[in-house]
Structure 1
C-alpha cells in the first residue's frame, strides 16, 4: 500500500463536526498527510484559503449556519482562490437526488458519500492527482479563462490518444460553443456520437442545435439523453428552452419543473422557471422561484440584496394580481413575514435604506387592504428620500401605479438608472406591471378625457360622474381628483337654490386625496385656487 499519497500536501478539512474532523485527520495521516488544517464553517475556510494555497480540500456539503460546501466552491472559483492543481472533494452523508445532482452540476473534482473506505479515498485522490498532473497546462488555461488556448491544448491532448481523451473532447466542445464555432463543435460531436451515444455528447449536441435554432433536432437529442438518465437536469433545461422557442409553453413548463425538482440550486434554472411561469401566467410558481433565488444566493458569492428585494416584490405583485381573497391574504402575509425575517440579517440589508423599502412595501400592502389614502400618505412622507435610493425607486413606481398615480409613476420611471434594469427579474416585474396596468390606465384615461369633454361643454353633472368613475380605477390620482373637485364646485355653483349636501361632502372628501401631499407646481397652483373656491361654498353651507 502507498502511504505517501498525501505527503507534502497542504490539506484543509471543512466540517462542522469536531468528531469527524479528528477521525478523518487520522485517515489522512495514514495516507502520508502531515500538514492538515481545519475550518468548521465555509466563511472560515474562505478566509484560510485567502492566505494559504491548499493542495486538497475535503468539504462537507452541510456546514450548519452560513455557506454550504457548494457555495464555498463557487466562492473559491469566483475569487480565484482554488489553484489549477488543487483538488476539491465534496463530502456528505446525505444522498438525496436534489442535493447530489446540484453538487455534481457544479463539477467538484470528486464527490464522496459517507461512509467511505481508506482504499476508496486513496484511489480517488491518486486518480485526480494523475489527471491534474498530465493536464496541468489545460487546467491553467481554464483557470486563466483563455478559451482559445483551451481549444488548442484539448486538440493536442486528443491527438495523443491519451486516457483523458473523452474529458478533453467535452472541454473542447464547451469552449467551441462559447466561441460560437458551431461547425467545429459539430464535427467533434458527430465523431464522438458515432462511436458512443454518451450523455455529455448528446447534451452538447442538443445545445449546439438549439443555438443554431434547429429546435426539433435538439428536442430529439434531449429526449435521448433523458431516456439514458432520467436525472439529467441540464437536458431538461435545453428541452424547456426548445419548447419555449417553438411556442409550446406548457411543455416548456413541465420540462423546467422537472429540471428544478432534480437540481433546484441553479440560478439560471430558477430564472428560466420564472420566465416560463410568467408566460403561462402561473403567479405562484414565480413567487416560489424568486424565493428560491434568494435562498440560493443568500450565503454565496452571488449574494445581492436585489434577490431579496425581488422576492418581496414578486410576492406583493402576486397579491396585487390575485382575485381570490384568501390567496391574496396568504401572499400579503408571506411578504410581511419575509420583511420581518430579513431584519435579523444585517449583512443582507446594510447596503440599502431598508426602513424606506419596508415603508413603501407596507404602503403597497395597505393599498391592497383598501387603505388608499394611508398608502398615498406614506409615499408623501418618504418621497423626498427616493432620489438618493435608486434600488428602491422601482418599488415607489409600483406603489404609484397601484394607487393610480400613473403620471407620477411614468415620470419617476425615467429616473431609474439603466444599470438597475439589467436585473432580469426586476425587468420582468416592470413588464408584468406595465401589462397589468395598461388596460386600467387606458380605461382611466378614456373616462378622464370624457369628463374633461363634458366639463368643457358645461355638462358638470356628467363630468362629475365620469371623474368619479375614473377615480374608482385610480383612487389616488391627483389630476383626476382635482378634476372631480373642479367639476363638483361648478355643479354646486350652478345649483343656486337646491345645492346638494351629498355632493358637497363628496367634494370635501375628495380633497383628502391631495391635502398635505407633495404636488407639482401646476397642481399646487390649481389646488390652492380650488381650495379658495371651496371655502366660499363651505361658508355658504354654514349660513
Structure 2
C-alpha cells in the first residue's frame, strides 16, 4: 500500500460518526488532489457531515477552471499535485484573479516537510495547513475554528471584490462594534483595507490599539508599512529591524526592510537583506526577482543570475510569469560574458509568450543590450529601433514605469543618455508618488552614470504636483469648479500617465456634477480620465470609487 493509500485509509476511519456545525453544511466545497483515493476519502468526510455540494479536481488546471464557474466557500488543496501547478500556485492564481475572497477558507494539505513551503507562502498565505495523514476529528476541528474566524465576512468580501472600500470599512466597523470572537481578524482586515485606500492614520490607530494590548507581529509589521508609505523611512527601517531581531524567520519583515533600504538609496544593503531572506525562503518568486533586480543594478551580476534562474524556474506554472523575468536572466548572463546563453533565453521569451506585445518589447530591448555587450554596434542599434517600435505598439501601456525603466536602461547602456534622461524625467512625472519606482530611477542613474539629477527632479516634480493639487482643492472649496478643472486638466496633459492627477481631474468633474447636475460632456470627460488610469492600472481602487459616484449621478449615461 502506498503512502497516499495509507493516508486515505486513516482519514476514512470512523467517517460515519463525524458531525459539524450547521453553518458548514450549506457551504460549497472543492477538494483538489492528484490521487483519486485521497480525493474520495476527503469527499467522504465532507459528505458524512451532511454537506452535499462537494466538487473535486485532480490538478491545477481543473481546479482553476472549476473556480471560474463556481464560488467555493471551502477549498482543501494538496500541495504537491505532480506536473503543472502546485497548491501554492493555485492559491496564488485564485487570489490574483479574485476567484476567492476574504470569506473563503483555503486549507493546504501536505505529506512532506513543510518548512520551505510555508516560508515561501508569505505573499499568499493559506488559512491553515494539514499534514497527511490526518484524522477526521482534526479536519473537523480545523474547519470549525476557521469557520468561526471567517464568520460574517460575506458582506465585507462582496464590497472588497467590488472595490467599494467605504462599504467594506463600514461593515467591518459594524462587526467590530459587536466585540465578536474573531475581533483580531476583523481589526487586521480593516487596517489592511485602510492601507489599500491610503488611510494611513486610520491604519496606524488600529495597529497602535492592538500593540498597546499585546505585541503581535502582524500589527508591528503593519505599523512599519504605514511608516514606509508615509515616507518615514528611518522609522520604518527601525521597525522592520526590530521585527527581524524578535523573529529571524519573519520573511515579510525582510521584504519590507529591503524596500525601505532601497527607498533610502541603500541598494547594496538591501541586496544583502534579500540574500538572507532567500536563504530562509528560496521559493518566493517576487523575492527572487527583486533580488535579481537589485543585484543587477548593483553590478553584482553573478548573484543576479542566480536569483533570476530561481525566479524563472518558480514562474513556470505561475500566473505571475512575465517576460521581464527572462529579460533579467538574459541581461545577467550577458553581464557574466555568457552572451550565447543570453540570446537563447531571449529566444525563449518569444516561445513562451507568443503573440504578446510586451514580450516583443522585452525581446528587442534585451537583444539590444546583449548585442552591445558583444560589441555588435549595428545589431544593438537595430534591436533598439525595434524596441522603440514595440513600445509604440504598446500604446498607453508604454507609459507603465516597467517599460519606461527598461527602455531608459537600454538607452543608457547604448550611450543614448539624453533619451534616457528625458524618459526618466517623464517617468518621475507619471509616478511621483510611487516610492519603489522612484528608488529604481535613482539606482539606474547611479549605475549608468547619467548626468541627470534624479533626486532633484523627484523633489521638484513632487512639489509641483502637490502645489497643483492644493490649488485645485482650494478652488473646489471656493466653489469655482471650472477653474479647478481647467488647472487640473492642464496638469493631466502635462503628465498624461500620472494616475493621481488624472483621477483628481475626474473627481473634480464628479464634484461639479454633484453640485450642478450631470451633463453628457462631463460624463464623457470623467470616463476619458478613468480609462487612462484603467489602461495603466486596471486594479486601481480609486477607479471603482469614482465609477460608483458616477453611477449614482447618471446610471445609464455612465456606461456601467
Tell me the TM-score normalised to structure 1 length. 0.64
Q: 1:46 aligns with which of 64, 76, 80?
A: 64
* Residues 30, 412 of structure 1: alpha-carbon distance in 2 compared, 3 angstrom cutoff: closer
Residue aligning to 1:314? 328
1:103-142 matches, cutoff 5 A:
103-142=121-160
The one-character-per-residue Cα deviations of 1:265-301 (angstroms, maximum 9, x if unpaired) are 4454334213321332111232233333333333233
Give 2:389's match in structure 1, choosing from 403, 415, 435. 415
Greater shift, 36-45 or 242-251, is seen at 242-251
Distance 2:18 2:34 in 1: 29
* CA–CA distance in structure 2, aligned partners of residues 234 and 89 of structure 1: 21
Q: CA deviation at 1:333?
A: 4.2
Q: Secondary structure at the match of 1:91?
A: strand
2: distance between equivalents of 1:37 and 1:412? 49
Q: What's the offset of the Cα at 1:2? A: 5.6
Question: What SS class does the counterpart of residue 197 from structure 1 fall into?
Answer: coil
Q: Name 1:393's counterpart in structure 2.
A: 364
Cross-structure match for 1:499: none
**In structure 2, what is the Cα distance between the partners aligned to 1:204 and 1:278?**
29
Asked if 1:70 is matched to 2:97, the reply is: no
For 1:422-433, list aligned pairs within 5 A: 430-433=407-410
1:403 equivalent in structure 2? 376
**Change in 2 beyond 3 A, CA 1:290/1:422:** farther
C-alpha displacement of 1:425: 6.4
8 A Cα contact 1:11 1:54, kept in partner: yes
Equivalents in 1 of 2:209, 2:53: separation in Å? Answer: 46
Residue of structure 2 equivalent to 1:227? 245
- In 2, Cα distance between the equivalents of 1:138 and 1:440? 50
Q: Which residue pairs with 1:532 in the alignment?
A: none
Where 1:299 maps in the other structure, the secondary structure is coil
- SS where residue 88 of structure 1 aligns? strand
The match for 1:205 among 223, 238, 242 is 223
Q: In 1, Cα distance between the equivalents of 2:303 and 2:51?
A: 49
- Does the C-alpha gap of structure 1 residues 391 and 242 become closer, same or farther in structure 2, counting only changes over 3 Å? closer
User: What SS is found at the alignment partner of 1:103?
Assistant: coil
Q: For residues 54 and 181 of structure 1, do their structure 2 counterparts lie closer, same or farther at Cα, with a shift above 3 Å needed?
A: closer
Evaluate the alpha carbon distance shift between residue 423 and residue 265 of structure 1 in structure 2; reply closer, same or farther with a 3 A threshold: farther
Is the Cα–Cα contact under 8 Å of residues 400 and 408 in structure 1 kept in the other structure?
Answer: no
Which structure 2 residues correspond to residues 128-167 of structure 1 after superposition, within 5 A? Answer: 128-167=146-185
2:346, 2:366 within 8 Å by CA — same for their partners in 1?
A: no
**Residue number among 17, 38, 43 corresponding to 2:35 in the alignment:** 17
Q: 1:228/1:157 Cα in 2 relative to 1: closer, same or farther (>3 Å)?
A: farther
How far apart, CA to CA, are the structure 2 residues paired with 1:284 and 1:270? 13
Are residue 438 (structure 1) and residue 438 (structure 2) matched?
Answer: no
Which segments of 5 or more consecutive residues in structure 1 lack a partner in the other structure?
Answer: 323-327, 358-388, 442-543
Contact 1:59–1:91 under 8 Å retained in 2: yes
The structural deviation recorded for 1:155 is 2.5
**Deviation for aligned residue 1:399:** 5.8
The answer to whether structure 1 residue 36 and structure 2 residue 54 are counterparts is yes
Q: Could you give the per-residue CA deviations for residues 170-227 of structure 1, whole angstroms, max 9, x where no partner exists?
A: 1122122222222222222222211112101110111111122222211221122223
Contact 1:89 1:110 in 2 (8 A): yes
Do residues 3 (structure 1) and 7 (structure 2) align?
A: no
Counterpart Cα distance in 2 of 1:171 and 1:85 = 11
SS in 2 for 1:151: helix
Alignment of 1:498-513 (within 5 A): none
Aligned residues, how many? 394
Q: CA deviation at 1:440?
A: 12
Any residues of structure 2 matched to 1:333-372 within 5 Å, and which? 333=341, 336=344, 348-351=352-355
**Secondary structure, in 3 states, of the residue corresponding to 1:416?**
helix
Instruction: Indicate how the Cα distance of structure 1 residues 288 and 176 shifts in structure 2: closer, same or farther if over 3 A, else same.
Output: same
SS of the residue corresponding to residue 112 of structure 2 reads coil
Shift in Å at residue 431 of structure 1?
4.3
Q: Is the 8 A contact 2:295 2:304 kept in 1?
A: yes
**Native 8 Å contact 2:159 2:165 kept in 1:** yes
User: Is the 1:271–1:425 Cα contact (8 Å) retained in structure 2?
Assistant: no
| SS of match in other structure, 1:90 | strand
Structure 1 residue 430: Cα displacement: 4.3
CA contact (8 A) 2:149 2:182 kept: yes
Contact 1:2 1:31 (8 Å CA) reproduced: yes
Q: Secondary structure at the match of 2:129?
A: strand
Q: What's the C-alpha RMSD, in Å, of the aligned pairs?
A: 3.4
Q: Which runs of 5+ in 2 are unaligned?
A: 1-16, 419-560
Once the two structures are superposed, what CA deviation does each residue of 1:216-240 show, in whole Å capped at 9, x if it has no partner?
2112211222233222111111111
Q: Deviations over 1:382-428 (max 9, x none)?
A: xxxxxxx5564324534664411366566555433254656766655
State the partner residue of 1:257.
275
TM-score where L is the length of structure 2: 0.62
Which structure is larger by alpha-carbon Rg, 1 or 2?
1
**Could you say what secondary structure the match of 2:133 adopts?**
coil
CA contact (8 A) 1:60 1:92 kept: yes
Secondary structure of residue in 1 paired with 2:125: coil
Contact 2:267-2:294 within 8 A present in 1 as well = yes
Aligned to 2:552: none
Q: Could you report, residue by residue, the CA deviation over 1:123-176 in whole angstroms, capped at 9, with x for unpaired residues?
A: 111122233333332232233332222222222323322222221221122122
Distance 1:163 1:75 in 2: 30
